Amino acid sequence: MTGGVLGRISRLDGAFSEALSRVAAQVIDDPGLTARSTIVELAERSGTSPATVTRFCRSLGFDGYAALRVAIATETGRAEAQIGWQTDIGRPIRPDDPLDRVLGRVLSAELSALQDTAHQLDVAAVARVAEAVVRASRVDLYGVGGSGLVVGDLHMSLHRIGIPAWVWNEVHGGLASAALLGEGDVAVGFSHSGGTVETVEMLAEAASCGALAVAVTSFPSSPITEVADVVLTSATQANNSQADVMAARHSQMLVAELLYLAAAQRTFPRTVSSFATTAKAVAGHRRLGPQRIDAGSVVELGLPRLGCGDHHE
């Protein structure tokens, strides 16, 4: 217990807050169980919260709980037996890796990011944003690079259920649009790092004009959160490998999907009507033809069947 992450936890225990000390005690007491546990399970055993566990991980220099689990499992020498394919979380993909290992690595990163996002996401904040979105006369969506793909998808979904949304991934046009927003409008900026200058500038302009400014980021202390009224957090990934980049993007899409569905719930009659209308409009370009299109085909158990990314194709 003198070296590695477990030794570091023991040495720092006196400097931890009471809540972090409870997490530390659980980790030291049974490192193997920690390596097998989800962030929620560790939080429950320590009498804390997933947010506290995340703060504990960051106090040790880790970006998130997944990285801590791997470090503990590796240090105790039981990684393969304890967490199986999950030991590849945080491991870059090498050129000579067989495809089955690459698949496992991608799956590990995806599942970890989605689970961590679900555990830490403030659903009450999502509901607040959804309420504002359905009342807004205009919704601006900002994002560049990979985040631009996410906002494009969210734009299509909102537009299809009759919510006036615009997507901007070029700063000149985005700033001009943001300058025309006002009280009652909504602006949502997606930035995994939270430091993308263009996105921060567009969201800041929207906020200064009175719009509700919403930031979706993996880093709650990043620059974009300083200009936002509401912050929605997606999961933080420890590495910059392609698998982690994709996982970060999909965790953003999970937030976007939930926001879209929350808006659709709040405009359900209009949503059903819009789905039926737009489905008929493109029916001639679908293999099944128009005879398969009706209002019942786009709803299930009272919820829209199509989500972000599930457009007419």
| Cα–Cα distance measured from residue 101 to residue 284, given in angstroms and rounded to the nearest whole number | 42
Closest residue by Cα to residue 249 from 109, 104, 69, 102 = 109
Cβ neighbors of 93 (< 8 A, separation 6 or more) are: 102, 105, 241, 242, 243
Q: Is the separation of the CB atoms in 253 and 153 below 8 Å? A: yes
| Cα–Cα distance measured from residue 190 to residue 285, given in angstroms and rounded to the nearest whole number | 32
Question: What is the model's pLDDT at position 259?
Answer: 96
| Cα–Cα distance measured from residue 266 to residue 50, given in angstroms and rounded to the nearest whole number | 29
SS3 assignment, position 193:
coil
| Cα–Cα distance measured from residue 105 to residue 103, given in angstroms and rounded to the nearest whole number | 5
Q: Residue 78 — very low, low, confident or very high, per pLDDT cuts 50/70/90?
A: very low
* Both tokens assigned to 280: 């008929």
Q: Is the separation of the CB atoms in 165 and 155 below 8 Å? A: yes
> Which amino acid, one-letter code, is at 248?
A
> What tens digit of pLDDT does each residue of 293-310 get?
444 444 443 444 444 444
C-alpha distances out from residue 115 to 23, 50, 70, 78, 230, Å? 19, 11, 16, 23, 21
| Cα–Cα distance measured from residue 267 to residue 285, given in angstroms and rounded to the nearest whole number | 27
Question: What is the model's pLDDT at position 287?
Answer: 66
SS3 assignment, position 152:
helix
Q: Above pLDDT 70, what percent of the chain?
A: 81
Q: Is the separation of the CB atoms in 308 and 149 below 8 Å? A: no
Under DSSP, the state recorded for 283 is: G
Average pLDDT, the chain: 81
Integer-rounded Cα Rg, in Å, for the chain is 22
Question: What is the model's pLDDT at position 159?
Answer: 87
> What tens digit of pLDDT does each residue of 248-289 get?
888 899 999 999 999 999 998 888 888 888 888 888 887 654
Question: What is the model's pLDDT at position 215?
Answer: 96
> What tens digit of pLDDT does each residue of 186-211 get?
999 999 888 899 999 999 999 999 99
Question: What is the model's pLDDT at position 277?
Answer: 86
| Cα–Cα distance measured from residue 212 to residue 266, given in angstroms and rounded to the nearest whole number | 18
Sort strands 186-190 and 139-142 into parallel, antiparallel or unpaired: parallel
Question: What is the model's pLDDT at position 227?
Answer: 94
> What tens digit of pLDDT does each residue of 214-232 get?
999 988 888 999 999 999 9
* Both tokens assigned to 75: 């240090």
Query: If phi over 0 gives left and psi between -120 and 50 gives alpha, with beta otherwise, what is residue 201?
Result: alpha
SS3 assignment, position 202:
helix
Residue 139 reports pLDDT greater than 60: yes
Residue 231 burial (10 A CB sphere; 0-12, 13-18, 19+): buried
Q: Above pLDDT 90, what percent of the chain?
A: 43
Neighbours of 13 (CB within 10 A): 13
| Cα–Cα distance measured from residue 213 to residue 207, given in angstroms and rounded to the nearest whole number | 5
Question: What is the model's pLDDT at position 183?
Answer: 95
Residue 113 reports pLDDT greater than 90: no
Question: What is the model's pLDDT at position 135?
Answer: 95
Question: What is the model's pLDDT at position 6?
Answer: 84
* Both tokens assigned to 79: 């990684």
Under DSSP, the state recorded for 87 is: G
Question: Comparing 236 with 306, which gets the higher pLDDT?
Answer: 236
